[in-house]
Amino acid sequence: MTAVDLRFAHPPGSAHLVLGGELAGATPPFDAQLVGALPALRFEALAIPNASATLVGTFPAMEMLVEARYASRTARPLVGSTYSTWQRGRGFEHGAEHRTSSTQQAPVQAQTGWQPATGHVAGVEARRRARLARLPISATVRFNIAKPTSPGAIGVAHSDALQLRTAGPFVHANAGRMDGLQRRLHHQDGLRDRHRPTTSRFGVAAPLPSRRFFEAIQVAVALRRWTNARWQNAMRPPPGRHPKRPDDGDPPPIRCYTPNPNLRFAALAATDGHLVFVCENHPGPGQDDPVVVPIRRVYVVLNHVTLHRWPDGAPVPVISLSLSLDVDSWAWGFEATLPGIAEVLVVPEDGASSVELVAHVNGTNFRVLAENLSRERSFGDTSLRLSGRGRSAALSAPYAPVVNFANANPRTARQLMDDVLTVNGVPLGWTVDWGLSDWSVPAGVFAQQGTWIDALATIAGAAGGYLLPHPSEATMRVRHRYPVAPWDWHAVTPDLILPVDAVSRESLRWLEKPAYNRVFVSGQSAGVLGQVTRTGTAGNRVAPMVVDALITEAVAARQRGTAILADTGAQFEVGLRLPVLPETGIVEPGTFVEYQDGRVARLGIVRSTRIEAGFPEVWQTLGVECHA
């Protein structure tokens, strides 16, 4: 390695270290000169006679711009170098050699530490006798007389015995010798699939054909004969006398078949054997008995929910489904969650209409149209969201055309509905279940543009009615919003009596509507003007006037006015969630329900129904309208 000298130039009389300086002499000094100019002074003054003025001014701060340059004149030659003890390698191709050579297959016999053993018979002796095997049982006679095997045999109280012959699964073993050595064992080497033999204290019975057994009673022949009885199964009354005391009041009247421990009789003890019960609340003429849900500690319901495609009946797998209907809807609403594999069953073919399905919920069939389909996919799971409407959706858009409806001849309101459900005089296949009071409509009064369901809703709404679709059949039911006015509900026999024990959840919401007691209902060109006033009121609170072209008779005006005045005053909505019981089934809108909450009984009419089937549970939620 070559040595490198580092030299410094030290100017005389200076303590600075200068690199690259001249050794001959020092750097000459330089003088700096600053040249600047101040701005001109300006003064503005107003000369006033006989007045003195003082001028005060301040010069701005002086600024200097300096540029300095210097030359180091320092040379930086290469004064050193470094190197490493190894150099950059270059590629060199060389074959790799493995010291082990390939092996050759050599057949080698494999031997085990043991060989198959050969059977050898050893002389053994067992202390117990061979077991007898079971033979088929003789069916000649039911019992035979047993014969004792010895004088000391045990006798039994009856002699008829069943003949039983058995034989052992193996025979007696013979003793053998092995190399001149006799061995005796306490037991024989048995097989694992053999059970321990059992012995009986009785010997084998010998049949005696000469003896026969006779009985006084033979086998009877069944004879079916019908009998009638005037009484039911009686029960023994408890002991003691229970006379009625003078201070005992009469129990409160209860409805028939309502669970109650009181048993009331109409007279004293009968001498002719007839037992008479008295029902204090029987239905009136033309009324049906109400459905009463009994009070039970536990309500057990076997739910059955399926979904099929119509008309081929192909089953559609479903995770959950729901159905809903209210008085303002003319079709059942349908929603369902399906697994991803069911997509091919609910997607219509190209150019075909929506797929029709049949949902079965606890004995009730619902025919619905699968209209909207969406798919949701997550990791490892794919589900379909299906929604649609009931079968009555076929009468509306987009399945039904827009038509102009009119009556060229006088017709009744019921006949107008029948005319709507036709095309050029040919019926569509739908029927009308009319539930209103009919009235006449003159020629040229009815004019409506829309689908078939729009025309039906217009006719029903003119008299305060609504459309209630059938769950599965092609039938449209027309019902009044208030078959009985709320102020007359005290005389109504409910369709369903529901105790609080059968309800899993209850909600209550109070409403306050204007308390109208009079309304004017009018037709148009060929209509009438009706004044509907609530009975027993002054008629001083008048509701807004209603005008409808189909109000052509007083019958229509009275029904429309009743619907308006009934939906007034203080109200409350009760939400009841209960299972689909066998006694109730699915409760539809328009059903009168008496909800018994302890001593409080609320009577109302169902306005909405929602069914939720999430297997294995099925619940229905009722929206009941009650009036204070």
Per residue in 260-304, pLDDT tens?
A: 556 666 556 656 655 555 554 444 444 567 889 988 888 999 999
The angle subtended at Cα 319 by Cα 316 and Cα 325, nearest 5°, is: 90
Which of these ranges, 17-21, 315-319, 373-377, has the smallest mean pLDDT? 17-21
Tell me what pLDDT residue 257 has: 47
Round to whole Å and give the CA distance between 163 and 182: 41
Tell me what pLDDT residue 47 has: 61
Query: Do 475 and 419 reside in the same domain of the chain?
Result: yes
What CATH number is associated with residue 325? 2.30.300.10
Query: Do 372 and 314 reside in the same domain of the chain?
Result: yes
Query: Do 381 and 349 reside in the same domain of the chain?
Result: yes
Is the per-residue pLDDT at 542 higher than 80?
yes
Supply 42's token pair: 């300006």
CB burial of residue 449 (10 Å; 0-12, 13-18, 19+):
exposed
Tell me what pLDDT residue 14 has: 55
**Distances from the Cα of 271 to the Cαs of 178, 238, 239, 267, in angstroms?**
99, 20, 20, 11
Which parts of 395-500 are beta strand (E)? 403-406, 411-412, 422-423, 426-427, 431-434, 440-441, 447-450, 465-469, 475-480, 496-499
CB burial of residue 299 (10 Å; 0-12, 13-18, 19+):
middle
Domain hosting 420: range is: 398-480
Bridge partners (DSSP) listed for residue 87: none
Query: Do 389 and 420 reside in the same domain of the chain?
Result: no
Query: Do 403 and 384 reside in the same domain of the chain?
Result: no
Q: What is the three-class DSSP state of 562?
A: helix
The angle subtended at Cα 574 by Cα 571 and Cα 577, nearest 5°, is: 170
Cα 456 from chain centroid (whole Å) = 33
Q: How many CB atoms neighbour CB 276 within 10 A? A: 8
Tell me what pLDDT residue 381 has: 83
Per residue in 19-75, pLDDT tens?
A: 554 444 555 565 666 666 777 767 676 666 666 667 777 777 777 776 777 666 666
Round to whole Å and give the CA distance between 254 and 252: 6
- Residue 552: inside a domain: yes
Query: Do 357 and 416 reside in the same domain of the chain?
Result: no
Round to whole Å and give the CA distance between 461 and 347: 36
- Residue 227: inside a domain: no
Of the candidates 429, 459, 480, which is a domain's last residue?
480
Contact 608, 324 (CB under 8 A): yes
Question: Which DSSP helix (H) or strand (E) runs through 453?
Answer: helix 452-462
Per residue in 500-519, pLDDT tens?
A: 999 999 999 999 999 999 99
Residues contacting 368, CB < 8 A, separation 6+: 323, 332, 334, 356, 357, 358, 359, 388, 389, 390, 391
Supply 268's token pair: 């004293």
Query: Do 322 and 361 reside in the same domain of the chain?
Result: yes
Pick the more confident residue, 78 or 543: 543
Per residue in 101-143, pLDDT tens?
A: 666 666 555 555 666 666 655 554 545 444 444 545 444 445 5
Query: Do 524 and 475 reside in the same domain of the chain?
Result: no
Query: Do 476 and 536 reside in the same domain of the chain?
Result: no
Q: What is the three-class DSSP state of 217?
A: coil
Query: Do 452 and 524 reside in the same domain of the chain?
Result: no
Integer-rounded Cα Rg, in Å, for the chain is 55
Is the per-residue pLDDT at 413 higher than 50?
yes
pLDDT over 70 percentage in the chain? 57
Q: Please give the mean pLDDT across all residues of the chain.
A: 77
Is the per-residue pLDDT at 248 higher than 60?
yes
**287-292 CB contacts, 8 Å cutoff, 24+ apart:** 287/493, 288/493, 288/495, 289/256, 290/255, 290/493, 290/494, 290/495, 290/496, 290/497, 290/594, 291/495, 291/496, 291/497, 291/583, 291/584, 292/255, 292/256, 292/257, 292/258, 292/497, 292/583
Per residue in 573-616, pLDDT tens?
A: 999 999 999 989 999 999 999 999 877 889 999 999 999 998 88
The angle subtended at Cα 313 by Cα 310 and Cα 319, nearest 5°, is: 90
Contact 357, 368 (CB under 8 A): yes
**Of 315, 429, 302, 308, which is closest to residue 365 (Cα–Cα)?**
308
Query: Do 447 and 519 reside in the same domain of the chain?
Result: no
Bridge partners (DSSP) listed for residue 323: 334, 611
Supply 608's token pair: 């909405």
Round to whole Å and give the CA distance between 281 and 262: 15
Question: Which DSSP helix (H) or strand (E) runs through 554?
Answer: helix 554-566
Supply 31's token pair: 């003088």
Pick the more confident residue, 252 or 455: 455
Contact 362, 580 (CB under 8 A): yes
Of the candidates 551, 567, 583, which is a domain's last residue?
567
Tell me what pLDDT residue 233 has: 66
CB burial of residue 239 (10 Å; 0-12, 13-18, 19+):
exposed
- Residue 446: inside a domain: yes
- Residue 148: inside a domain: no
- Residue 415: inside a domain: yes
Locus of tokens 């309500």: 299
Q: How many CB atoms neighbour CB 19 within 10 A? A: 13
Of the candidates 394, 420, 452, which is a domain's last residue?
394
Per residue in 468-512, pLDDT tens?
A: 999 999 999 999 999 999 999 999 999 999 999 999 999 999 999
Supply 228's token pair: 């009638």
Output phi, psi for 357, to 5 deg.
-120, 160
Contact 72, 27 (CB under 8 A): no
Q: How many helices (H) and strands (E) does the chain have?
A: 4, 27
- Residue 71: inside a domain: no
- Domain count for the chain, please give it: 3
Interval 361-380 mean pLDDT: 90
Given CA atoms 171, 174, 178, 183 in this order, what sign does their dihedral have?
Answer: positive
Tell me what pLDDT residue 252 has: 54
Contact 495, 255 (CB under 8 A): no
Which of these ranges, 123-127, 236-240, 323-327, 523-527, has the smallest mean pLDDT? 123-127
Round to whole Å and give the CA distance between 504 and 499: 11
Tell me what pLDDT residue 51 has: 60
Given CA atoms 505, 511, 515, 517 in this order, what sign does their dihedral have?
Answer: negative
- Residue 383: inside a domain: yes
Q: DSSP letter at 599?
A: T
Round to whole Å and give the CA distance between 504 and 33: 105
CB burial of residue 600 (10 Å; 0-12, 13-18, 19+):
exposed
Tell me what pLDDT residue 156 has: 44
Query: Do 411 and 423 reside in the same domain of the chain?
Result: yes
What CATH number is associated with residue 529? 3.30.1920
**Of 368, 362, 309, 306, which is closest to residue 334 (Cα–Cα)?**
368
Residues contacting 185, CB < 8 A, separation 6+: 124, 125, 126
Question: Which DSSP helix (H) or strand (E) runs through 624?
Answer: strand 617-627
Pick the more confident residue, 564 or 140: 564
**Of 407, 422, 424, which is closest to residue 459 (Cα–Cα)?**
407
- Residue 455: inside a domain: yes
